[in-house]
Chain A
Amino acid sequence: MVYSLPEEVLEHVFSFIVSDKDRNVVSLVCKSWYEMERWCRRRIFVGNCYAVSPSIMIRRFPEVRSVELKGKPHFADFNLVPEGWGGYACSWIEEMSKAYPWLEEIRLKRMVVTDESLELISTSFKNFRVLVLSSCEGFSTDGLSAIAANCRNLRVLDLQESEVMDLSGHWLSHFPETFTSIESLNMSCLGSEVSFSALERLVARSPNLKTLRLNRSVPLGKLSTLLHLAPQLVELGTGAYSSGIRSDVYSSLSKAFLGCKEIKGLSGFWDVDLSYLPAFYSVCSRLTTLNLSYATIKSPDITKVISQCPNLQRLWVLDHIEDSGLNALALSCKNLQELRVFPSDMYAADANVTLTEQGLVSVSQGCTKLQSVLYFCHQMSNSALITIAKNRPNLTCFRLCIIEPRTPDYLTHEPLDIGFGAIVKHCKNLNRLSLSGLLTDRVFEYIGVHAKKLDMLSIAFAGDSDLGLHYVLSGCKSLKKLEIRDCPFGDTALLANVAKLATMRSLWMSSCAVSIGACKILSQKMPMLNVEVIDENGTLDSKLDSCLVEKLYVYRTVAGPRSDMPGYIWTMDRDSSSRI
C-alpha cells in the first residue's frame, strides 16, 4: 500500500523541506519524488565549482533561484594557490544567464569574476536581488557600475574581502534615483574614494538599508551624516576612525550613534584615534558582533569597550587585546560564541604583546557558550589545551595557529599531541580543526579515533610519517576537506585510502612527500577524481615516477578534467600523464 499524495500537494510539502541534506535524501526516495524534488529545488550550493558542470546542474535543477559556488581551495587565503589557478565564474554565469531567467541570488567565494560577467548578470536576471562576492577578484568598479545601473530590485551587494580594480569612485552614482531597494551594502574592500554625495543620496532614499559597510576612505566626519540618514541600521562598518582634532566631529558622531537604536554589529575601525572611541559607547550594550581586527588599539582601551558589551556573541580582535583583555572578556561577555584573535605582527619573534595561552584558557572558562575559536599566538602548552577542552566540550570549531612552526609545549618541551588529543576527545561535535605546534603521528591517531564529526582539518608542519595521514583518512568518518602543507605524508597513506577520497570534497597537499607515480595510480584507480598536480617551478619530470610533486589538489567530480588550467597544472589522466 502506498500513501499517495497528489503532485501539487507533494510539491507543497517539499517547500517546507529546506536543508540541502534533507532535499538530497528526498530525491533518493523514489522516481516521482526525485522528479518533483528537482523541479522544486530553488537553492543550490556547490562547494567546489569543478565538481560539477553548469550544464549538469541546470539539466537536473531547472527552476533554481539561488546559486552559491566556491572556487579556489581554502589555502589560497595563505597564498599557497598560484596565480591563474582557476575558479572562473564566467562559464557558470553564461550558462545560467540562458537557463535561469528568474535567478535571484548569486553567491561566489574565491572565484575569478570579470566585468563582462557582472554586466551579464545585471542584464540577464530581471528579478536579481542578491550578489555576494566573497574573496573574489578579476573585476573592476566598471562591473559594479553595470550592477548598479541595471539591477532594479537589488537587495544585497556584498563584496567582502574581494580584490576590486578601483577605476572610479563613481560607480555608486549609477544606481538610478528611483532605486530604493538596497538592504545590505558592503564595500569595505574598496581602496579608493567613493563619491560621497552619491552614497549619501543612496542611503537617504533606502529605507530598508540594514547593513552598511563603508571603506576606509569614507571620512569619520561624514559618518554622522550617514547615520542620521539611516537610523534603522543594524550592522555598520565605519571607515577610517580618526579625524584630527575636531570637537564638532566627536559630538555629532556621538549624537548620531545615540539615534541608532537598532545597531547590533560594528566593524571597520581603521586608523583608530582613541579620543573618538567613546562616541559609540551608547550602542555597546546592544552589540552582538564587534570586529576590531583592524584596530591597533591597546589592551586597556579594548577592555574599556568590551566591558560595556554584555551581549557580545562574536568578537574579532588583534592580539593587542592581550591576556588582560581576554580576562576582561571572560568576565563581561557571558554570551560569547565566537572569538577570533588575529596576529598584529606575524614576524616579530618576541612580540610586544603579552598574549599567551592564558588568555584563551580564561575565555574558555568564563564564556560557557563559546563554540568557535581562531587564535594566533606564540606559545601553547598541553595543560592549557587540556583545560580548554575540559572547559568547553561544546566547541565546534577550534583553529589554533602557533605562529612559529613546530613549537613545542613551552613548559615541558613535549609535542602538543595530548593537548590536541584532549580537544578532539572532549569536543565531540567538533567539525573544524586547525593544528599547529610540534606534533607527532600520535595526534593523528587521537584525531582518527575521536574526531568522528570532523568536517574540515588543516595541518601544517606536523607528523612523522605516513601513519599520521593514514590515521586521519581511515578514522575521520565525516571528513570532507583536508588541507595539508609541509608534512612528511606520502604515497603509502594516500594509496591505502583511495576510496576515502571519493567521499570527500577535496584534498590539498603541498610540500609533502607524494610522488608523481602515486598520483598516476590514484588517478587510474579513481576515475571520479581529478588529480591535479601543480608544478610552478617546472622541475617535475613526469616520466620519473619517484619525482615528488610540489602541490597536489584532488577532488571528486563528474565534470571530468577541467580545461581552464594554466600550463603548470596537469590533471593526471587515466590513459596518459601528458599535460592537458
Chain B
Amino acid sequence: MKSFIWLETTDGLIQQVEEEVAMFCPMICREVLQTSMGSSKNYAIKLPQRVNPVVLGLILDYCRFHQVAGRSNKERKTFDEKFVRLEANKLCDLISAADSLQLRPLVDLTSCAIARMISGKTAEEIRETFHITDDLTENVEAEEERVEDRSVDDLLLFINSGHEDSKGVKPAKNKKRNRRRKHHPKDPSPNIENKNHYKETDSLSSSHNSEVEDAPNQSINSMLLGYASPESDYDDELDPALKEQLDREVEDFAQRLNSVWSK
C-alpha cells in the first residue's frame, strides 16, 4: 500500500504527497523523523512560509524525478537543464522555497541558472529582469551610465565613489549600516563592531564624478569647450598668454579636425 505524507502550505492548503517524493526534501524528512508529523490530514507538516502551492508543485516534480534511483547522470542533467528554463520571478520563488526546504542540489541548480541570467548584463538590465529598484544613487541614469562605462579591474574605487557622492546629496552621515556578518566557517572573530561604510568618503571622490564625460560619446567641440571654459578656477597661476595661445591652438585644431572628421 502506498504511503503518503501530508503537507500544509501557509495559505492553509493541505495536500498529500507520495512518501518517497516528500522525503527527498531534508526539511520534510527531518520533520517526519523527529516529530512524527505528516501521517494524516490533521497532522500535516506545516511548510515554511516561502513555499507556496505553485512552487511546491515544481519542487515535488523535481523530487519525483530525482528520487528514482536508476536514472543515469545524463538523464538527470537533461532534466535539470529543462527544469530551470523558467522566468526570473519563478526562479526566485523556486530558489527561496528550495532553500527553506534545504534541498541543496536544487538550490545549486537554481543558483547557477540565476547567475547565468545575471552574467553579461548591465546593472539596468539586471534591475529590469529581477524588478529591483535602484536605491544606490539619486541621479539614476546619468550616474550609472558613466560609472558603468568605466573599465572595471582597478575600478572598484570608482564604484565606491560612484554611489557615495550622489549629486550633492550625501547619505546621512549618522546612518549606521549594520555590518552584516556572514557566518563563515573560517571566521576567526564573530564579534564585529559596527562600521559605517557610507560615512567614510574618500576625499578625492567628492567632486570628480560630475566632470567625467566619456570622450568618444561627446562631440569634439563640447569637449574642447569644457577644457577651455571660463569656469575653471584653477588657471590662476598659469601664464595667461600661454593659456590663451593654447586655447586658440586647440580651437584651430578642433576646426581642422571637424573638417577632416566629417567623412
Binding site for B on A (CB under 8 A): 1-9, 11-17, 19-22, 24-31, 33-36, 39-40, 44-48, 51-52, 56-57, 59-61, 63, 101-102, 127, 466-467, 470, 473-475, 477, 480, 491-492, 495-500, 502-505, 517-518, 520-521, 524-528, 545-546, 557-560, 574, 576
Alpha-carbon separation in the docked complex, A40 to B197 (Å): 16
For the complex formed, measure the closest distance between the CB of B111 and the CB atoms of chain A, giving whole angstroms. Answer: 5
Across the A-B interface, give the 6 residue pairs with the lowest CB-CB distance, nearest first: A16-B115, A500-B215, A524-B234, A3-B92, A558-B157, A28-B123
Partner among B107, B123, B135 whose Cβ is within 8 Å of the Cβ of A31: B135
Q: How far is the CA of A147 from the CA of B204 in the complex (A)?
A: 37
Given contacts A45-B153, A59-B200, A500-B215, contact A28 B147 (CB under 8 A): yes
Q: Which of chain A's residues have a CB closer than 8 A to the CB of B152? A: 20-21, 24
Residues on B with beta carbons closer than 8 Å to the beta carbon of A518: 246
Closest-CB distance, A421 to chain B (whole angstroms): 15
A2 close to B119 (CB less than 8 A): no
Chain B residues contacting A25 (CB-CB under 8 Å) are 121-123, 126, 148
B1-9, B18-26, B62-70, B217-225: which one contacts chain A? B217-225
**Chain A CB within 8 A of B214 CB:** yes
Binds A, one of B32-40, B76-84, B247-255: B247-255
Q: Main secondary structure on chain B at its contact with chain A?
A: helix
Q: A4-B92, A60-B160, A517-B238 are in contact. Are A52 and B154 (CB under 8 A)?
A: yes
Tell me, rounded to whole Å, the shortest Cβ–Cβ distance linking A8 to chain B.
Answer: 7
Q: Does B58 sit within 8 A of A, measured CB to CB?
A: no
Q: Is B230 an interface residue (CB 8 A)?
A: no
B13 proximal to A (CB < 8 A): no
Closest chain-A Cβ to B125's Cβ sits at a distance in Å of 9
**With a CB–CB cut-off of 8 A, which chain B residues contact A60?**
156, 160
Report which of B108, B200, B242 forms a contact with A546, defined as CB distance below 8 A: B242
Chain B interface (Cβ within 8 Å of chain A)? Answer: 50, 88-89, 92-93, 95-96, 99, 107-108, 111-112, 114-116, 118-123, 126-127, 130-136, 144, 147-163, 177, 180, 182, 184, 186, 188, 197, 200, 202-205, 207-208, 211-216, 218, 220, 223-224, 226-227, 232, 234-235, 237-239, 242-243, 246, 249-250, 253-254, 257, 260
- Docked pose: A28 CA to B188 CA in angstroms: 29
B232 touches A470 (CB 8 A): no
B116: chain A residues at CB < 8 Å are 16
A-B contact count (CB 8 A): 225
| CB neighbours of A504 from chain B (8 A) | 151
Report Cα–Cα, A496/B226, bound state, in Å. Answer: 10
**Within the assembled complex, what's the spacing in Å between the Cα atoms of A375 and B147?**
37
How far, in whole Å, are A504 and B114 apart by their CA atoms in the complex? 31
Residues on B with C-beta less than 8 A from A35 are 177, 180, 197
Q: Which residue of A lies closest to B143 (CB)?
A: A28
A470 pairs with B257, CB closer than 8 A: yes
- Determine if B89 and A3 form an interchain contact, defined as CB atoms under 8 angstroms apart: yes
A34 to B162, CA, bound (A): 12
With both beta carbons as reference points, the residue of chain B lying nearest to A45 in the complex is identified as B153
Closest residue to A500 on the B side, CB-wise? B215
Known: A3-B88, A25-B148. Contact between A492 and B253, CB under 8 A? Answer: yes
The answer to whether A473 touches B253, judged by C-beta atoms less than 8 angstroms apart, is: no
* Interchain CA distance A47-B156 in the complex, whole Å: 11
On chain A, the residues within 8 Å of B204 by CB distance are: 527-528, 557-560
Q: What are 30 A-B interface contacts by the 8 Å CB criterion?
A: A4-B96, A5-B92, A7-B180, A9-B111, A13-B114, A16-B112, A24-B156, A25-B122, A26-B123, A28-B123, A29-B134, A30-B133, A51-B157, A59-B197, A60-B156, A474-B215, A475-B216, A496-B220, A496-B227, A496-B253, A496-B254, A497-B223, A503-B215, A517-B239, A521-B227, A527-B207, A527-B208, A557-B157, A558-B161, A560-B204
Kindly report which residue of chain B lies nearest to residue A23, judged by CB atoms. Answer: B152
Q: Which residue from A4, A46, A102, A559 sits with its C-beta under 8 Å from B186? A: A102
Distance in angstroms from A331 CB to nearest chain B CB is 39
Q: State whether A3 and B130 are in contact (beta carbons under 8 Å apart), knowing that A9-B96, A28-B123, A558-B158 are contacts in the complex.
A: yes
User: In whole angstroms, what is the CA distance A31 to B197 when docked?
Assistant: 12
| Closest residue on chain B to residue A48 by CB atoms | B154
Q: Do B107 and A12 touch across chains, with their CB atoms under 8 A apart?
A: yes
Flag if A2 contacts B216 (CB, 8 Å): no
Q: Is the CB of A47 within 8 A of B119?
A: no
With A3-B88, A16-B112, A499-B212 as given contacts, are A8 and B220 in contact (CB-CB < 8 Å)?
no
Chain B nearest CB, measured from A497 CB (Å): 6
